[in-house]
Structure 1
């Protein structure tokens, strides 16, 4: 998730499968008026969806953005997909903010993680 606190970034932890991921890859247009505010609102809003597990986001210097949303089940993902404010943001994205995008939805069958122990 976007981190504005200065805390070091960390990926969303591994969850017990099965769960779902929505991988949203984008290239944005030069016109970004209102994008930051809408993005912040979507990050706030999705947290209220029962079954939302977390979100990772990365942006390349070349302009490719990737957001991965994690959801406990298909119902949670469907609730997010049908949210009225989210639908309105999607319309703005297609009309103004995105040159192109791709959405992949997948059921996760295996998941694990690693964190290096710190000296101390």
Structure 2
């Protein structure tokens, strides 16, 4: 079950992939997931994709943590590779989480 995310920052990444270099994309995505998890202020990730469309939510302790991740050299290089190879387009939104709760069928 998801944890309470109240007070965290969420970065919403919505994208459509080109379909090119699926293996390279998967390797880069795995590497970025591992690298993000090592960053100060990282609080988790949720992601879903279907038919080339994807939504990834990454959670951060604060704005400074999210900005530091954006500026990380390996992340920046992978972002440029994504623009050149893997994405048709993407949109990124950043928001503060004012309320958070979850439910799960036992």
Please say whether Structure 1 and Structure 2 have the same fold, judged by a TM-score greater than 0.5.
yes
Q: What does residue 93 of structure 1 align with?
A: 82
What secondary structure does 2:54 align onto? strand
TM-aligned CA deviation for residue 18 of structure 1: 1.3
Give 1 or 2: higher helix fraction. 2
Query: What is the distance in 2 between the residues matched to 1:48 and 1:76?
Result: 12
Query: What is the distance in 2 between the residues matched to 1:36 and 1:112?
Result: 30
Pair 1:103-2:92 in alignment: yes
TM-aligned CA deviation for residue 116 of structure 1: 2.2
Structure 1 unaligned blocks of 5 or more: 1-9
Query: What is the distance in 1 between the residues matched to 2:7 and 2:19?
Result: 38
Considering only aligned residues, what root-mean-square deviation do their CA atoms show, in Å? 1.3
Query: What is the distance in 1 between the residues matched to 2:96 and 2:54?
Result: 21
TM-score, normalising length: structure 1: 0.81
User: 1:1-120 counterparts in 2 under 5 A?
Assistant: 12-15=2-5, 17-32=6-21, 34-60=24-50, 62-117=51-106
- Greater CA radius of gyration, 1 or 2? 1
- Which runs of at least 4 in structure 1 moved beyond 4 Å after TM superposition? none
Query: What is the distance in 2 between the residues matched to 1:46 and 1:13?
Result: 18
TM-aligned CA deviation for residue 30 of structure 1: 2.4
Q: How many residues were matched structurally?
A: 105
TM-score, normalising length: structure 2: 0.91
